[in-house]
Amino acid sequence: MPIQKITPCLWFDHHAEEAADFYTSIFPDSKVVKVVRCGEGGPGPAGSALTVDFQLQGQSFLALNGGPLFKFTEAISLIVNCQTQEEVDAYWEKLSAGGGAPVECGWLKDKFGLSWQIVPSVLQKFLGDLDRRKSGRVMQALLKMKKLDIRALQKAYEG
């Protein structure tokens, strides 16, 4: 298999392996590929994970236990495109489990502080409509939501 040209690296204090296990348990066709552990010379405790290579539905990621220097911010998020409300609901529930928090407009933070956008794929059609009244109504509805509701967005779109 060819090497992915660009791989996101997610910096964790010391939860890289736990996070990779969490994410791969949520998304089908996902797996932990490789764990590189610290030796006696560090930088972490011997045997602890230094890096974890994992895949979420074929997309490669690297989780790094880099210590407490950096934290996740909303400046970067991962988007999960969903076809149905059931899919939106399932990813929302799973990714926010264990201490995650809902945020506005379909965003949430997971228990590690990473931001996710759980987005129905039809939203692009609604917001991109050339009829500004339709797209405006959808935006106004969207701004009042945390978890996105496809039926309510459709209703706003239709007027």
Which are the contacts of 55, defined by CB distance < 8 A and separation ≥ 6?
24, 30, 31, 33, 61
Q: For residues 3 and 77, what is the distance between their CA atoms, to the nearest angstrom? A: 23
Domain ranges in the chain with CATH number 3.10.180.10:
1-70, 72-159
Q: pTM value? A: 0.94
pLDDT digits (tens, 9 = 90+) for 23-50: 999 999 999 999 999 999 889 899 999 9
* CATH assignment of 72-159, among 3.40.50.300, 3.20.20.80, 3.10.180.10, 1.10.287.3240: 3.10.180.10
